[in-house]
Amino acid sequence: MNGNRTRLFDVAVIGAGMAGMATSLFAARRDLSCVQVGNGGGILFASGLLDLLGVHPVADRRRWDCPFEALSSLRRDLPDHPLARVGDDALRAAFEAFVSELGAVGLPYAPLDGANHPVLTSIGTVKTTYAVPRSMMAGVEMMRSRPSCLLVDFRGLREFSARQVVAKIGADWPGLHSVRVEFPGFEAVSELYAAHLARAIESAATRDSVAERVRPLLGDATAVGFPAVLGLSRSGEVHERLQQSLGLPVFEIPTMPTSVPGLRLKDAMEAALAAWRVVRHVQAKVTKVSFDDDVATLSLDDVPGGQTIRARSVVLATGRFTGGGLSAGRGHVSERVLDLPVHQPGTRGEWHRRDFLDPAGHPVNRAGLATDGDFRPLSADGRPAWHRLFATGSILAHQDWMREKCGSGLAIGTAWTAVEAISRGLQAPRKAG
Amino acid sequence: MSASSFRIAVYIALGLCALGLLWRLSAWLRVRIGPDARAIPFHRRLASALHGAFSFAFSRRLPGVLKAFLLDVLLQRRLFAEAKVRWLGHLLILLGFTALLLMHALAALLTQKLFKGYQPTLDPYLFLRNVFGAMAVAGIVLVIAGRRRAQRVAPTAHRLGDRVFVALLSIVMVSGFLLEAQKIASPAAFQRMVDEYFGEDISPEDLSALKAAWAVDYGVAFEDAAADPDPALLETGRELHKDACASCHSLPTSAFVSYPVSRVMGPAVRPLDDVDAAKWLWYLHVFACLLGLAVLPFTRLFHAISDPVSLLVNGAASSRPLSDAGRASRRALAIDACVRCGLCDTRCSVAPIARFMNNASLLPSHKLLSTFRFAREGRGRLRDGARYDRIAEGAFLCSSCGRCTERCPVGLGLDDLWTAQRDDLAAAGHPAAAKWVQSRTASEWADLLPAPPGEGPAVAPLSSDRRTFSPCVQCQTCTNVCPVVAHTAGAGDGVDLTPQKVMNLLRLGMVDLALGSRMVWDCATCYQCQEHCPEGIRVTDVMLELRQSAYRRLATVRDRRRPE
Amino acid sequence: MKYAMFVGCTIPARLPAYETSTRAVLARLGVELVDLPFACCGNTVRGLDQDAYVFASARNLALADRAGLDVLTPCKCCFGNLRHALRFLSQDAGLRARIGRALESEGLALPEKVQVHHLLSVLFHEVGVQAIAAAVTAPRTGLKVAAHYGCHALRPSKVTQFDNPLAPTLFETLVRATGATAVDWPRRLDCCGDPLHDANPPLAGRLTQAKLDDARQNGADVLATACPYCQLRFADAQAGRTDPLPTILFPQLLGLAMGLHPGRLGLPG
């Protein structure tokens, strides 16, 4: 780590949420040397399901079976939307690259087929998403055909009740049944935590014991659903072995964040970045960035001896309000690292619509950084703030990813496009000015 | 003093010494240190000791024992490795004292019989006595100087009897030299010798010639001695001396300590003669010797017995481990074999902590004595003023680095002793804090551990600052990554709270409920929670700080005198 | 490359082979070690009295600072404690003043420049993997090694700055430099259980056992450690077992690969 003090990186990524991770990963895949600052805590809140674009327009809550059809509609209606600026091919390539990297570090996803998928959630609702972890994919098929199916829960695991799921959706799915079993090794423990079960089930003995306890309860089920606790770093293997020993398709049902799939995604991202030799500064914050003609210098807080990073390009992937990229002051939204101008409603009074639950969302939900087509944020004069400063993910303006169900798509797609631009820019001879 | 009353005094001293020895030696089999030792009755320890003593001579332990005797007992190699000055001092005392004992104190029994013509005032005996005496005195000075230096690092514990031996030895040495000096220069002693040797058969002329010779050659402080005697008279006196005295009296220059002392005393000799000083000095000299003999078992000199035994037992144990009974006896022996030289304290890894916390109970020499007191005074009884909490703190803050054991010049098995002490304390209701906390539930502790005045940001900077924990969104990540919660197999076995609940208690201002919790005290400090917290909360650092707060509060409720 | 060697309390008392092998390997790799009159890092009092702990660490650091040397320690817990102390001192002015006064009474000054390194960091960053690979003359080809990281080097990364705390690669890279194969095992970053051993032995035992089972299940021939507590915990937990998973201290593994005689590494033979 000592050598990094004087090293000049190609890319410095600020932020370690989904956008920061995707940006670093794509940059490293293009053989750009990359350093990333941020603790990646945001990813813990992810569900493991990677949305591309599920809903548009939000006011109509229209769901789409095909995200690319949704995209063409979006491009017509909201040309400033960041996703509208990412081409279909780029999005396909970006998602393929992203899930194949995750697969390579032990978190396999079902093959991408260009369609959105319905996923049964732990509260009995159905979520529409694009990329589905392989361990959950059988559930998607079951959702579609709804045959006889067994949902298993574990006594003491509060975040998942199979009986409640059946109660909620059973009217539309008569073959769905629930059973409750003791998780082996935790019989005397009153309150169970998903991650602990996920670690425990990675041991072959525990896995076999779970199968033993479920097998007599199968009845005429054609598939078995479990809460998402089937392994942490070895979920692919656990899932596969469990299918083998039960002789039936097995699927996980994603639980509420923070969940095991979130932990998996975080661990997998860390492993993928490490494999690509991305230098990470976790739990550090960038306090200052200064630019000269060709090099940006980032100052980190709270590192003994003080530390700076030098890089030829910078990507701001600090997220919105919860991620800490934007902060809402009295009547004004500001960008926290560089104090870039933020596209926002004129006054605080216009931030929200009258009805808090208005399906159309609120204008403040579309606040963020305005950029050019390469996702370079603009300064007050409408020109890029620095020629190799980029922004990716939810800090970008003109999108409402939560309602549009496009969070991962936004992060992955903008990261892909920005990294392409960085790669071009670093190879091209520097333009004057 | 008549010969018979002197003899009676010697026998009394010897008898007292023997009784004392019996008492002290039996302690090696009586004193029980450690719960395991309490299970072993006296007779088993006696049998094991006898068996050990008689069998080692015929066993494969013998080479180890012989090696230990040569290197450790005689050459004191362990002390040499640790403290050269004190090794030299110790060797000087050992050699000087032993030689004086054999050649001088036991002259009637040994020297006179072995060497024809022995006279205490004749060379080489006169010279050697001064040599041995000077060695002992120099040794005492070196040892005390070495101790002083060590004391600067850490104050060594001591017992009442520790200084008695050095004090008595000093009295014996000083009184011996003064006695010899007084006798050399004493006109009365001269007159007594003349009377004994010549009786009436010496003419006044010869007497004055002899006096002139002794005044010049021996420095006898005659009242009427001429400053510059007539050479002819001196010559006559020396002739006379050669015939009559020289066979028993070497020249006083051989007494290279006493003679200069007598020259310094000079004019004071005659007034001292008038009060019979030589007699009183002799009484003092002999009384100090006999007193030393009588109380020997209770003074530092006892180490002349206990240390060789301890070192020999070590030698024996080096080839084959001791039995349970043997180990129990060895612990009791260690208490007696410690000379409180304090070298352990100077090497102690936690000595800086002892200084900072102002608790000498952390230091080995102090622990050894508290171990003994605890054993002697029984479970649950200590003299008033002894602080169990301080002693327990000392016992449980030991980092078990083993330096005290490794460096002990008499090779005491201190590490085993410390284990026994911790077990004793735990059995008596003073276990390590982490164990003690387990005796009550977190809510019971909350009632028992009110915040002491002055607790605030200075001592608890994290838990007293809302900014530490207010970002917590109760996302449960800390709990999900916690290995202690994950491996809790059932009620009472592991944690009562989860890390996230501890954070919640802080947010609710209910820190007291967290202090005595198993989560706080059974935290593995693996820092998974802190590393994973999406809000960057220093969860593990908070856990450790809560322990510190609890420990501070425990000290206020812990019974300072005796356990329950 | 010259460091003050901080060997701590546990290594000389209970695992002298670690010191022996560390010295042998570092000497061969051209790292010079200096011995200073260090005492306990403060570990025993860490959870009881913050000031006493920081003082204990600071005193050692002050000694190294005075000698103008950085500290190298083979113990992960000493490493964590010493680094934490530096951090606490830099964050808390009140603490700094109190510790400064106490050091002054011992004729010492607050440490200013001294840095603390773990043995593995020095091997990786200062000696370098290439130099190590070049020194390997008897590669451990085919040996499958589970590298156990040890908590107090890895976390909190903000303080320890050892490697990426969630996806570290340093130890496996060093293992591969010996010619051995580093196995991937899910519990490689978990706690060995030792800090809990006194307070809650059964729970500690389960932590230890879970790690051993995991390493075995993932095909490890041997578990490599670089901390006396972890090493002893794994060894003690398997005492009396007929088929224990062997554990080896990393400098022993490296020393063997460098062709050093086992006797010089504190190994039998």
C13 CB neighbours in chain B (<8 A) are 400-403, 415
pLDDT range class, residue C38, cuts 50, 70, 90: very high
Of C86, C164, C214, the CB nearest to A304: C86
Q: Would you give the distance in Å from CA B418 to the centre of its chain?
A: 17
Chains with 3+ CB–CB pairs under 8 A to A are: B, C
The verdict on a CB contact (< 8 Å) between B433 and C44 is no
Architecture of the domain made up of C2-117: Up-down Bundle (1.20)
Is there a single domain that holds both residue A187 and residue A61? no
> In Å, how far is A283's CA from the nearest CA of chain B?
7
A312-316, B195-199, B493-497, range with the lowest pLDDT: B493-497
**A305 part of a folded domain:** yes
- Between A306 and C85, the higher pLDDT residue: C85
Asked if residue A108 belongs to a domain, the reply is: no
Q: What is the CA radius of gyration of chain C?
A: 18
User: Are A81 and A140 members of one domain?
Assistant: no
First to last CA, chain A: 34
Give the whole-angstrom CA distance, residue B284 versus residue B167.
13
Would the CB atoms of B524 and C45 count as touching at under 8 Å? no
Instruction: Give the pair of three-digit tokens for residue B497.
Output: 């709270």
Of B461, B483, B530, nearest to C207 by CB-CB distance is B483
User: Looking at the predicted structure, is the pLDDT value of residue B452 above 80?
Assistant: no
Please give the distance of CA A314 from its chain centroid, rounded to a whole number: 21
Best residue in A158, A258, A303 to probe B by mutation, most B CBs within 10 Å? Answer: A258
Task: Show which of residues 210-239 on chain A sit within 8 Å of chain C, judged by CB atoms.
Answer: 232-234
- Contact call for B486 and A282, based on CB within 8 A: no
Average pLDDT over residues B282-286: 93
Given pLDDT bands bounded at 50, 70 and 90, which one contains residue B526? very high
pTM: 0.90
Pick C186's closest partner by Cβ from A3, A232, A284. Answer: A232
Domain C129-265 class? alpha beta
Enter the DSSP assignment of A363.
G
User: Which of A1, A199, A283 comes nearest C158 by C-beta?
Assistant: A283
| Record: contact B532-A44, CB cut-off 8 A | yes
| Domain end (from A253, A288, A322) | A253
The residue among A21, A39, A206 with the most chain B CBs within 10 A of its CB, best to mutate, is A39
Selecting from A257, A263, A283 the residue whose C-beta is nearest the C-beta of B536 gives A283
A237 membership: H or E segment, kind and range: helix A235-246
Tell me, yes or no, whether A268 and A362 share the same domain: yes
Count of structural domains, chain A = 2
Least confident of B453-457, C37-41, C143-147: B453-457
Q: Does B486 touch chain A (CB under 8 A)?
A: yes
Cα–Cα dist A94/A71, whole Å = 15
Beta-strand relationship, A126-129 and A117-120:
antiparallel
Examine the pLDDT at B56 and tell me if it is beyond 80. no
Per-residue pLDDT for C202 more than 80?
yes
Sequence-distant (≥ 6) Cβ neighbours of residue B192 within 8 angstroms: none
Residues from chain C that touch B545, judged by Cβ atoms under 8 A, are: 50
Domain match, A208 and A311 both: no
Lowest mean pLDDT of A123-127, A354-358, B301-305, C205-209, name the range: A354-358
CATH of the domain at A365: 3.50.50.60
* Mean pLDDT, residues B387-399 taken together: 88
Q: Both A229 and A279 in a single domain?
A: no
- Chain A CB contacts of C86 under 8 Å are 304
Of A231, A253, A275, which one is at a domain's C-terminal end?
Answer: A253
- State how beta strands A286-291 and A296-300 pair: antiparallel
Distance from CA of C51 to the nearest CA of B (A): 9
The conformation of residue C44, written as its DSSP 8-state character, comes to G
Q: Is B526 on the interface with A (CB under 8 A)?
A: no
Nearest CA in chain A to C113: A305
* Least confident stretch, B9-23, B360-374, C37-51: B360-374
**Rounded to whole angstroms, how far apart are CA atoms A414 and A405?**
15
pLDDT for the residue numbered B385: 46
Q: Grade residue A219 by pLDDT with cuts at 50, 70 and 90.
A: very high
According to the model, what pLDDT value does residue A2 have? 43
A23 neighbors A392 (Cβ within 8 angstroms):
yes
B-chain residues near A258 (CB < 8 A): 475-477, 480, 534
Q: Which amino acid is at A358?
A: D
Q: Calculate how close chain A gets to B489, using CA atoms only, in Å.
A: 6
Q: What is the mean pLDDT of residues C154-163?
A: 92
Q: Which of residues 159-178 of C touch B (CB under 8 A)?
A: 165-166
Kindly state the average pLDDT of the residues B503-529.
93
pLDDT in tens, B310-333: 888 887 777 778 889 999 999 999
Which residues, including other chains, have CB under 8 Å from residue C132's CB and lie 6 or more apart? C29, C123, C174, C177, C178, C254
CB-based contact B357 C193, cutoff 8 Å: no
Distance from the first to the final alpha carbon of chain C = 31
Gyration radius of chain B's alpha carbons: 34
Unique residue bearing structure tokens 């990554």: B481
Of C39, C94, C156, which has the smallest distance from its Cβ to B531's Cβ?
A: C156
Which of B473, B477, B484 best tests the A interface by mutation, with the highest count of A CBs <10 A? B477
Do residue A149 and residue A86 come from a single domain?
Answer: no
Q: Which two tokens stand for residue A35?
A: 């350093």
Q: Return the pLDDT at B563.
A: 43
pLDDT at position B61 is: 65
User: Is the CB of B474 inside 8 Å of chain A's CB atoms?
Assistant: no
Dist. CA C172–CA B287, nearest whole Å: 76
Are the beta carbons of B349 and C94 separated by less than 8 Å? no
pLDDT in tens, B213-257: 888 888 888 887 767 778 888 888 888 888 888 888 888 888 899
What number of residues does chain C have? 269
CA B231, CA B211: separation in Å to the nearest integer?
A: 13
Do C50 and B525 make contact, defined as CB atoms within 8 angstroms? no
Q: The domain containing residue A128 runs over which residues?
A: 122-253
Is the minimum CB–CB distance between B250 and chain A shorter than 8 Å? no
B352 — contact with chain A (CB < 8 Å)? no
Q: Is B534–A41 a contact, with Cβ atoms under 8 angstroms apart?
A: yes
List CB contacts (< 8 A) between A284 and chain C.
Answer: 158
- Angle at alpha carbon of residue B432, lines to B430 and B433, rounded to 5°: 100
Interface B-C: count of C-beta contacts within 8 A: 146
Q: Specify whether the CB–CB gap between C3 and C117 falls below 8 A.
A: yes
Query: Mapping DSSP to helix (H, G, I), strand (E, B) and coil, where does residue B162 land?
Result: helix
Q: What value does the mean pLDDT take over residues B153-179?
A: 84
- Report which of residues B207 and A401 the model is more confident about: A401
Report residue B56: phi and psi, to 5°: -65, -30
- Where in chain C is CATH 1.20.1050.140? 2-117
* DSSP-derived 3-state class of residue C46: coil
**What is the Cα–Cα distance from B284 to B271, expressed in whole angstroms?**
19
State the complex-level ipTM.
0.97
Asked whether A208 and A245 are in contact (CB, 8 A), the reply is: yes
Give CA–CA dist C215/C189, Å, rounded: 12
Q: Closest Cα of chain A to C126: distance in Å?
A: 9
- Domain-embedded: residue A117: no
Q: Select the residue of B489, B490, B534 nearest A39 (Cβ to Cβ).
A: B534
User: Per-residue pLDDT tens for C219-269?
Assistant: 999 999 999 999 999 999 999 999 999 999 999 999 999 999 999 999 997
Domain membership flag for residue A114: no
A116 within domain boundaries: no
Q: Do B480 and A194 touch (CB under 8 A)?
A: yes
Rounded-to-integer distance, Cα C19 and Cα A430, Å:
55
Using the 3D structure, point to which of A253, A272, A301 is the last residue of a domain. Answer: A253
Interface test with C, best of A5, A270, A276, A278 (most C CBs within 10 A): A270
Mind spelling out the 3-state secondary structure of A54-82?
A: CECCCCCCCECCCHHHHHHHHHHHCCCCH
Residues of B in contact with A41 (CB under 8 A): 477, 532-536
- Is the model's pLDDT at B108 over the cut of 90? no
Domains of chain B, each with CATH number or no CATH: 184-275 (no CATH), 443-560 (1.10.1060)
Compute the C-alpha angle B364/B366/B371, nearest 5°.
90
State the average pLDDT over residues C133-150: 97
- Residues of chain C in contact with residue A234, where contact means CB-CB under 8 angstroms, are 186
Cβ count near A380 (within 10 Å): 8
pLDDT in tens, A28-56: 999 999 999 987 778 999 999 999 999 99
Q: Identify which of B322, B332, B306, B309 has the alpha carbon closest to the alpha carbon of residue B32.
A: B332
Q: Is residue A85 part of a domain?
A: yes
**Chains near C (3 or more Cβ pairs under 8 Å):** A, B
Peptide bond into C156 cis (omega under 30): yes
Reported as a pLDDT band with limits 50, 70 and 90, residue B562 is: very low
Helix/strand/coil for A133: strand
Ranges A267-271, A308-312, B154-158, B380-384: which has the least confidence: B380-384
Strands (E), chain C: 2-5, 32-34, 70-73, 116-118, 144-147, 181-182, 222-225, 247-249
Q: What confidence category does residue C111 fall into, taking pLDDT thresholds of 50, 70 and 90?
A: very high
Distances in whole angstroms, Cα of residue A320 to Cα of each of A42, A47, A51, A129, A400: 11, 18, 18, 22, 11
For residue B306, report the phi and psi dihedrals to the nearest 5 degrees: -70, -35
Based on the domain organization, do A140 and A248 belong to the same domain? yes
**Do A331 and A245 sit in the same domain of this protein?**
no
Of A44, A188, A200, the CB nearest to B491: A188
* Distance (Å, whole) CA A382 – CA C241: 72
In chain C, CATH 3.40.50.11810 sits at 129-265
Does A112 reside within a domain?
Answer: no
Q: How many CA atoms lie within 13 A of A63 on its CB side?
A: 11
Query: Nearest to residue C113, comparing CAs of C78, C160, C65?
Result: C65
For the stretch A157-170, pLDDT in tens is 999 999 999 999 99
pLDDT category, A282, cuts 50, 70, 90?
confident
CB A109 within 8 A of CB A132: yes
Contact B356 C48 (CB under 8 A): no
Q: Is B528 on the interface with A (CB under 8 A)?
A: no
DSSP string, A23-53: HHHHHHHTT--EEEES--GGGGG--S-B-S-
Considering Cα of A273, then A278, then A279, then A282, what sign does the dihedral take? negative
Shortest alpha-carbon distance between residue B492 and chain A (Å): 10
Distance from the Cα of B485 to chain A's closest Cα (Å) equals 8
CATH number at residue A222: 3.40.50
Position C180 confidence tier, pLDDT thresholds 50, 70, 90 = very high
- Direct distance between the N- and C-terminal alpha carbons of chain B, in angstroms, rounded to an integer: 58
- Chain A positions in Cβ-Cβ contact with residue B532 (cut-off 8 Å): 41, 44
Backbone angles phi, psi at A109, to 5 degrees: -110, 155
Residue owning tokens 């392994």 = A231
